[in-house]
Amino acid sequence: GAVVSQHPSRVICKSGTSVKIECRSLDFQATTMFWYRQFPKQSLMLMATSNEGSKATYEQGVEKDKFLINHASLTLSTLTVTSAHPEDSSFYICSASPGTGYEQYFGPGTRLTVT
């Protein structure tokens, strides 16, 4: 149980375009979903927290207009990287929690490359 999927697993896009990443909890309802990014050989950095039906809470330094998060249902959250630039290239990982966040189950990640 507690499976979280992400789609796509890998995406390459041109600078200036937007990219949407989906995160789904497959066998449980996720009250809370989290988005992280991870640079090579570095740890995961929390970008934002989203609760179903409400606006996401962004961490300090994360541009909410650039990283749009929608938690449309209890099993789906999306992250849209708008007007992507090469510095946005990273590994984006979502996690989902059936509660308030003590148990988080991670997706397999999405590798974004912006050329």
Partner 1 sequence: QKEVEQDPGPLSVPEGAIVSLNCTYSNSAFQYFMWYRQYSRKGPELLMYTYSSGNKEDGRFTAQVDKSSKYISLFIRDSQPSDSATYLCAMIDDYKLSFGAGTTVTVRA
Among residues 30, 79, 93, 112, which is the contact residue for partner 1, using CB under 8 A?
A: 93
* E strand residue ranges, the chain: 4-7, 10-13, 19-25, 32-38, 44-51, 57-58, 67-73, 76-81, 90-97, 105-106, 110-114
Residue partners of 63: CB distance under 8 A and separation at least 6: none
- In the range 32-71, which residues lie near partner 1 by CB under 8 A? 32, 34, 41-44, 46, 49
Residue number, 10 or 85, with CB nearest to partner 1: 10
Task: Please report how close the Cβ of residue 107 comes to partner 1 at its closest, in angstroms.
Answer: 5
CB of 35 to partner 1, least distance (A): 12
Determine the Cα–Cα distance for residues 19 and 111; give it in Å rounded to an integer: 11
Among 29, 55, 108, 113, binds partner 1 (CB under 8 A): 108
Question: How far apart (Å, rounded) are the C-alpha atoms in residues 92 and 1?
Answer: 22
User: Which CB, 46 or 68, lies closer to partner 1?
Assistant: 46
Residues of this chain that interact with partner 1 (CB under 8 A) are 4, 6, 32, 34, 41-44, 46, 49, 91, 93, 95, 97, 100-109, 111
